Amino acid sequence: MTVILDGKNLAKKIRKDIKEEVALLKEKTGKNPGLAIVLVGEDPASKIYVNSKIKGCKEIGMESFENFLPKDVTEEKLLEIIEKLNKDERVNGILVQLPLPSHIDEKKIIAAIALEKDVDGFKPDNLGLLFLNDKKSLHSCTPAGIMRLLDEYNIDLKGLDAVIVGRSNIVGKPLAGLFINRSATVTICNSHTKNLKEQTKNADVVVMAVGKEKLLTEDMVKEGAVIVDVGINRTNAGVVGDVDFENVAPKAKYITPVPGGVGPMTVAMLFHNTLKAFKNVNNIE
């Protein structure tokens, strides 16, 4: 029987647990974890994401600091704002919503965020620390959410052959590090991979993170595999993943749905990281 990995419900539970911990920490320290959110411009999708993060903060009792900036804001001004947030003790995490307008150098902006406030886990140091299995480092939210979801269902990666399709800096690469730390044997594929099916059909775990609707089909997976779908593809039929869910699911042992799988876990991990950043800076275990 196929088990659906229910990210929606788990994310709800995680948020509830964080809310309780935030309340306890507030009592204990008199302080409140705070997340600064920076949005440049008016991109409708980014606005929806940002607003849901702000709403989430309020629901779990974290403080949010909103910085909505015009699309023509200069790089210099944005760097100035980040510097101010770096110094603000009420702010434990800084999230700059991507993508940024083309006149702003994303790398430069991410580099400006203080390491201990990098709740997106985008900074090179955090990615390096992730590969070194450092316990205090902040992990990119989507890979962190995938690990939490696999753990919830007691899926042990030790010795498993895992194929990750997608080599982005925020999903594929950090996830490979997290899988390696759990003793999986990892292959990372990309759009130039010679024969994708050749790679995926023998894998115990397949993670799809390329943004290509229904790319992973039933003939490409092994009976009993674990399938994780990171894809969010907007189609006339609604949001669909990178996996042909209907046909792949019967063959899989575990599979994430889209929506309701990895997506809600990503946002929950942002709050998890903000709490972790708060605890790191206040030396709380």
Contacts to ligand GUN by CB under 6 A: 95-98, 120, 141
CB 178 → ligand GUN: shortest distance, Å?
16
Q: Please provide the size of the chain in residues.
A: 285
Separation CA 104–CA 149 (nearest Å): 35
Q: How far is the CB of 95 from ligand GUN (least distance, A)?
A: 5
CB of 97 to ligand GUN, least distance (A): 5
36/96 with CB nearer ligand GUN: 96
Taking the complex as a whole, the smallest distance from the CB of residue 32 to ligand GUN amounts, in Å, to 22
Establish whether 199 is a catalytic residue.
Answer: no
Only one residue has tokens 């599979």, namely 255
| Rounded Cα gap, residues 2 and 113, in angstroms | 42
Nearer to ligand GUN among residue 139 and residue 182 (C-beta): 139
Q: Of 171 and 220, which CB lies nearer to ligand GUN in the complex structure?
A: 171
Is residue 68 within 8 Å of residue 53, measured between CB atoms?
no
Residues 53, 123, 173, 276: which is the catalytic one?
53
Our measurement of the distance from residue 222's CA atom to the centroid of its chain's CA atoms, rounded to an integer in Å, reads: 26
Q: Which residue reads 């708060």 in tokens? A: 278
Given the residues 6, 97, 118, 199, the one annotated as active site: 97
Q: What is the dihedral of CA 260, 264, 266, 270, to 10 degrees?
A: -170
Give me the sign of the Cα torsion angle 234, 239, 241, 246.
negative
**Residue of 6, 118, 120, 229 marked active site:** 120
Closest CA to 248 of 210, 211, 197, 188: 197
**Distance separating alpha carbons of residues 175 and 162, to the nearest angstrom:** 11
User: Looking at beta carbons only, is 141 or 160 nearer to ligand GUN?
Assistant: 141
- What is the nearest approach in angstroms of ligand GUN to the Cβ of residue 76? 20
Supply 78's token pair.
């944005």
Nearer to ligand GUN, 31 or 47 (CB): 47
- d(CA 82, CA 74) in angstroms, rounded, equals 13
- Please give the backbone phi and psi of residue 254, each rounded to the nearest 5 degrees, phi first: -130, 145
Please indicate whether residue 6 is annotated as part of the active site: no
Assess whether 120 carries a catalytic annotation: yes
Strand partners, 164: 188, 207
Q: Which residues are known to be catalytic?
A: 53, 97, 120
